[in-house]
Amino acid sequence: MGGHATPAVGRGGPTGEDSVDISEALYTTRAMRRVRPDPVPLDVQAKILDAAIRAPTGGNAQNWRFLLVDDREVIARIGPLYRHAIDQLWKTVYADRLAAAAADPEAEESRQVVSVKRSAQWLADHFEEVPLFLFGFVQADPTGGSIFPAVWSAQLAARAEGVGSSLTVVLSFFHPDEVFDILGVPRDEHWSMACCVSFGYPTGRWGVAPRRPAHQVSYRNRWGAPVGFTVDQPLWPEDHSSG
């Protein structure tokens, strides 16, 4: 890779990866829902959470709590709730997109929608096999502005250790009370569930996720005004000649 060297952010886990530089971590930390049941070692979990709490937080309040779940009985109680939540998601939020994809299955956007649905459904169907979950809770932070930088740092730190992750919020929408009861979260301290993140060693390969280019979703100075640059290909890796 050409250009300036970037600092390494860690080493791979049981996958045998070499160190991962920060650009690679940023570009390849996509949702990795399909994972092996192999446990994530405690020292790796410690690295993930220690990195997470270094993230910016409003007023340095750290009005968050992270709850790691690897107890199989606890996960088994949450699994049916998650599957029901995903089923409701397909019937509501994603209903129009799924109908459009079914109507024009050969379109590239349709293929992507179907791919995401299959991946998300795999996690729902295999919820009890995932080795580790992280539940994030916040106080007086309805936007999640303080906790989500920390959660993203946790996902980047996991990537550096060869651990895949995927963030989901469907339990927060469809079954928050049941999850609170299962996890013993106090009801009188104004906690809200921000997210649930799955962690595990992925069965697939890391890669740069396809996205609409930055210049198609960004403006400058005024809504709708050109951002001033175009990015036709991902800027990492820098050498596209062998692609």
- Beta strand 64-69 with 164-168 is unpaired
In the numeric block, which tokens belong to residue 237?
Answer: 């890796």
User: Which CATH number fits the domain that encloses residue 205?
Assistant: 3.40.109.10
Structural domain contains residue 196: yes
The range of the structural domain enclosing residue 144 comes to 22-212
Q: What is the pLDDT of residue 12?
A: 44
> What total of structural domains would you count in the chain?
1
Structural domain contains residue 13: no
Structural domain contains residue 125: yes
Q: What is the pLDDT of residue 206?
A: 95
| Residue 3 C-beta-side C-alpha neighbours within 13 Å | 9
Structural domain contains residue 148: yes
Structural domain contains residue 9: no
Q: What is the pLDDT of residue 229?
A: 97
β partners of residue 65: 137
Structural domain contains residue 110: yes
Q: What is the pLDDT of residue 146?
A: 85
Stated pTM of the model:
0.88
| Residues 84/175, Cβ–Cβ less than 8 Å | yes
Q: What is the pLDDT of residue 240?
A: 53
**Region at 231 (left for phi over 0; alpha for psi -120 to 50; beta for the rest):** beta
Structural domain contains residue 199: yes
Which residue type occupies 213? P
Q: What is the pLDDT of residue 7?
A: 43
How many other β-carbons are positioned within 10 Å of the β-carbon of residue 80? 14
Q: What is the pLDDT of residue 9?
A: 44
Structural domain contains residue 198: yes
What is the separation, in whole angstroms, between the first and last Cα of the chain?
13
Mean pLDDT by 10 residues, the chain (243 residues): 41 55 94 97 98 88 92 98 97 94 92 94 98 95 87 97 97 97 96 97 94 96 98 86 44
Tokens 């906790």 locate to: 147
Q: What is the pLDDT of residue 224?
A: 97
